[in-house]
Amino acid sequence: MWDNLPALKAELDAFEQVMLEQFRSHRNINAYLDDLSRDIILSGGKRLRPAMTIASAMLGQYERDKVLGSAVSIELLHTATLVHDDIIDNSPLRRNKPTVYAREGVVTAVFTGDYLLVKSLLALAATDIPQEHMVRLAQAVEAVCVGEVEQYHGRGRMPSFKTYLSRISRKTAALFAASCALGAHLGGLTDEQVKTAGRFGSYYGIAFQIKDDLLDMLESTAKTGKPAGNDLKEGVVTLPVILAAGDDPRVLAKLDAVMSSVGGKKASKRDVLALMKMVKEAQGIERTQEVLTKYVALAGRFLDKLPDTPGRDMLRTILDTSFSGYTA
């Protein structure tokens, strides 16, 4: 994606160096945690959130020193949540590589996630941004936590469409919204423009999670870095299943049977694959693509309200590239 955006790629290259500088301690225990953190950071990832922070700052007056530190903070926050997610989900793989949880055990994984969170806070404190934006980022993390807890306690049950949207607005979209709003603020945009950038990020984040739900249904482990059907195996009912089950009683009956097997243990692979087949036959994929198209369009509508600058062009390219081939 970034090869098509050379100016943004140059800033992301500088961002990588700033981020790695956070993990160069020579003390024994710190060095151990630094090594684990670097392994996670260098294992891949698109860097979407820091890219959107940088591009949003380029909607106005771009100041690299202020922006890159904030982008680092956001990426480390995101990475910390992934480490903790892997513990909760008992995940052996992320991005086709063994997780810290799988390699080092639950205790080390918890502390590694906590360490990344502390490093995120230190990076943010060094940028000297206004308190209101530190509060905004803290609220985004709070929203992520609430969304994840809601999903965890909702395992084994089918949420309503409204509940699903509320959940993903917290657990996924909130950090995208904060990334764009923070970048816009650092670029010197007006309060109204900062809010608009945040709305763009929120709708982008909702679309991003819906696409992720599609990938869980459609793609192989080799492509996604996670086992296919992983959400259902963990008792998490996502949008393709919600839409298919709402239209087809047979899908709902099969879903109830699969979910009844989760409580305390994972659903069997055979049952999950059978349910996935039924969801596809009931047009769950096509209907999810229609919803995805709606939220991509909403993101584009708010993007169009932002200043016509290279930053907006970058955000447009990110939006178009992220969802190419997945909308209806």
Least Cα distance to 165 among 269, 298, 14, 325 occurs for 298
pLDDT of res. 108: 95
Structure tokens at 63: 């100041």
- Helical ranges in 44-98 per DSSP H: 48-57, 64-89
pLDDT score for 265: 57
Per-residue confidence of the chain (328 residues) as pLDDT tens digits? Answer: 798 999 999 999 999 999 999 998 666 678 899 999 999 998 888 999 999 999 999 999 999 988 999 999 999 999 999 999 899 888 888 888 899 999 999 999 999 999 999 999 888 888 877 777 778 788 888 888 888 888 888 888 899 999 999 999 999 999 999 999 999 999 999 999 999 999 999 999 999 999 999 998 986 544 555 566 778 888 899 999 999 999 899 999 999 988 886 654 566 788 889 999 999 999 999 999 999 999 999 999 999 999 999 999 999 999 999 999 999 7
Q: Which fold has domain 2-317?
A: Farnesyl Diphosphate Synthase (1.10.600)
- Which residues contact residue 149 at a Cβ distance below 8 angstroms, ignoring those fewer than 6 apart? none
pLDDT for 161: 95
Predicted local distance difference test score (pLDDT) of residue 220: 54
Give the Cα separation of 136 and 229 in Å (integer): 34
Q: Is this structure's pTM higher than 0.85?
A: yes
Percent helix, percent strand, percent coil in the chain, to nearest 5: 75, 0, 25
The pLDDT value given to residue 91: 84
The count of residues in the chain is: 328
HSE (CB half, 13 Å, CA atoms) of 260?
6
**Shortest CA distance to 243 belongs to which of 167, 160, 163, 323?**
160
How would DSSP label each residue in 120-182?
Answer: HHHHHHTTT--HHHHHHHHHHHHHHHHHHHHHHHTTTSPPPHHHHHHHHIIIIIHHHHHHHHH
User: For tokens 């984040």, what's the residue?
Assistant: 205
Residues 6+ apart with CB under 8 A from 168: 147, 205, 206, 209, 210
- Residues 52 and 231: their CA atoms lie apart, in Å, by 27
pLDDT of residue 89: 80
Which pLDDT does position 290 carry in this prediction?
Answer: 97
List the structure tokens of 259.
């979910």
Q: Are the C-beta atoms of residues 20 and 41 closer than 8 Å to each other?
A: yes
